[in-house]
Structure 1
Amino acid sequence: MRDLLIYYKWKKRDFIFIALALLCLTPIISSPVALVLGFALVSLGLVPESLDINQLTKKMLSYSIIGLGFGIDLEQAVAASREGIGLILVSIVSTLALGWILTSVLRIDRKTGHLIASGTAICGGSAIAAIAPAINAKGEQTSLALAVVFILNSVALFVFPLVGHLLNMSQHAFGVWCAIAIHDTSSVVGAASAYGNEALLTATTLKLARALWIVPVAFISALLFKGESKKVSIPFFILFYCLAILITHLLPAFSSLYQGIFSASKQMLVLCLFLIGSGITFHKIKEAGIKPLLLGLLLWLMVASGSLAYIELLLV
């Protein structure tokens, strides 16, 4: 009888986890909520111990990134990249370099620090999701980086429009600032749309250009973190990501199909965040301390203030 009760408890726990995981594949659950849900389940002991979450998450992250490539308009991204190449390149290189230095100064785990810097430099959660498997990051390293990015994204949604109005920024200038200084595309769209239609168009287009930089940064990251091995682990999913962008550009007749794949991939990314959250524990957070959040905050303030000064002095 006791064995039967233990079996039933296991199946019940299994059912709760699977049910919430499937719910993450619907628009009902957003990315931050998915991360919190996963964390709540592991805190309550409702995550199946037999499930290899880290391995499953790595595979699903790769598939998600490939699918997101179908949502990038190559012509728009290249055009925007050509216009803002200087600002984009300087912000990415300086953020990654400063991130490397601060990671060492604050004595943060190298991979966690690099993921936070990459998310700040390029496009938040998408960049972290793409680079994590390229450097063989552990689940807790990825989850900490994502948590930092989501916290700062939430702040940006409220702070950026307020600062824009206080400085009386033009629609175009505010759109450029959002695209450069806010991590995730969803938060860029949210902040820019609150400011105006022109700001939204500018921010979205320029953000696409930044997203293209996931490719070289992922390859460079794989080189930097190859460890003692002389072999470089090539992130093949990045090649398929590029292929997806090319297919979308060369075969535009199937645009509705591409949009469907893109939407499905975004939802799969939400499920990945749920799985990542289920790997976070209070013990791991206590071990990491406040330093990862401090790193993310310092990098974000540098990018936000530096790009704002450039836009206010030179762009307008």
Structure 2
Amino acid sequence: MSFFSDKWRGIILCAVLAVPCWFLGKLVPVVGAPVFAILLGMLLALVWPVQAAFKSGVGFVSKKVLQYAVILLGFGLNISVVLATGKQSLPIIVCTIATSLIVAYGLHKVMNIPGKISTLIGVGSSICGGSAVAATAPVIKADDEEVAQAISVIFFFNVLAALLFPWLGTVLGFSTTSGEAFGIFAGTAVNDTSSVTATAATWDAMFGLGTATLDKAVTVKLTRTLAIIPITLVLGYLVGKREQDANHEVNIRSIVPSFILYFVLASLITTLATSMGVA
């Protein structure tokens, strides 16, 4: 019963809010469920601040459940297939990730943006939106407000990208008879999976390409997702080293987050199962 009183009220509250947002995200994929959830949470907070009885459960969802979601994301990654089909776009992905992180760091210095928020926005923008933020937040010990701000910024630009990129693709002169070029463009430049899907599907519909653009964009997007692994490990090492220098003790768990290792394990399970014909 103590578990119920401490956590279940907040967990149930989050579930009640999440279900309608999930359906809204399906109906309007260009916006996505996370944006609806953030907006609903902001509106709810204005009229009904979270009570003490719910805080434990809400904190559990915002920390642990997000980490579990990142682990489950690993089961959708077949590493061998992604690398085999995405190697063409790998140089572009590496360059865009590096550029995004450098720009985020530069804006952090020039505009005095808080370090954790700039890190979350940089990682989320360069890799895979909300999933990367969810993976990075516990590593750098970002609080709920910092996570919400980062996700809000990322998804705002996701919506703009989904609306403007098909028009921009025609201006840039991408081929309208093949979805490969625009698929790489959308999969590299748009952050969240739902927005990548919406953008690529719009291009397919505009020029009658079936699912050619969508297939290419999703493959590129999955290749980008793999960057979660080295990025979070590097950030975990830097944060852990800083704490080690301050406390004069080594904390291996802070240097190598356990849920990232489980994410890698989940990806390996999917890869092995697929290669053996199980999946």
For the criterion TM > 0.5, the same-fold answer is: yes
Q: CA RMSD in A?
A: 2.3
Cα distance in 2 between the residues matched to 1:133 and 1:20? 19
Superposed CA deviations along residues 177-236 of structure 1, whole A, max 9, x for unmatched, are 111111111101110011012211111111110000000000111123333434351211
Matched-pair contact (CA < 8 Å) for 1:76–1:208: no
- Residues 23 and 44 of structure 1: CA distance in aligned 2, closer, same or farther (over 3 Å): closer
Establish whether residue 229 from structure 1 lines up as the match of residue 229 from structure 2: no
Query: How many residues are aligned here?
Result: 243
Cα distance in 1 between the residues matched to 2:49 and 2:14? 11
Structure-1 residue corresponding to 2:189: 181
Cα shift at 1:46: 4.6
- Residues 155 and 244 of structure 1: CA distance in aligned 2, closer, same or farther (over 3 Å): same
Structure-2 residue corresponding to 1:28: 23
- Residues 144 and 246 of structure 1: CA distance in aligned 2, closer, same or farther (over 3 Å): same
**Sequence identity of aligned pairs in percent?**
34
Establish whether residue 193 from structure 1 lines up as the match of residue 201 from structure 2: yes
Establish whether residue 244 from structure 1 lines up as the match of residue 266 from structure 2: yes
Name the TM-score, length of structure 1 as normaliser.
0.71
Cα distance in 2 between the residues matched to 1:24 and 1:114? 26
Cα distance in 2 between the residues matched to 1:164 and 1:81? 21
User: Is 23-32 or 245-254 further displaced after alignment?
Assistant: 23-32
Cα distance in 2 between the residues matched to 1:74 and 1:137? 29
Establish whether residue 212 from structure 1 lines up as the match of residue 226 from structure 2: yes
Cα distance in 1 between the residues matched to 2:107 and 2:170? 32
Matched-pair contact (CA < 8 Å) for 1:95–1:121: yes
Matched AA of 1:130: A
SS in 1 for 2:52: coil
SS in 2 for 1:61: helix
Cα distance in 1 between the residues matched to 2:105 and 2:191? 18
Cα shift at 1:240: 0.4
Cα shift at 1:35: 1.2
The equivalences for 1:72-221 within 5 A come to: 72-170=77-175, 171-196=179-204, 197-221=211-235
- Residues 43 and 16 of structure 1: CA distance in aligned 2, closer, same or farther (over 3 Å): farther
Stretches of structure 2 lacking an aligned partner (at least 5 in a row): 1-7, 25-32, 205-210
Cα shift at 1:85: 2.0
- Residues 37 and 16 of structure 1: CA distance in aligned 2, closer, same or farther (over 3 Å): farther
The equivalences for 1:242-281 within 5 A come to: 242-252=264-274, 255=279
Cα shift at 1:78: 1.0
Matched AA of 2:113: I
Name the TM-score, length of structure 2 as normaliser.
0.80
Cα shift at 1:15: 7.8
- Residues 247 and 15 of structure 1: CA distance in aligned 2, closer, same or farther (over 3 Å): closer
Matched-pair contact (CA < 8 Å) for 2:78–2:268: no
Structure-2 residue corresponding to 1:47: 50
Cα distance in 2 between the residues matched to 1:235 and 1:213? 15
Establish whether residue 71 from structure 1 lines up as the match of residue 76 from structure 2: yes
Stretches of structure 1 lacking an aligned partner (at least 5 in a row): 1-13, 256-316
* Larger RCO, structure (CA 8 Å, separation 6 or more): 1
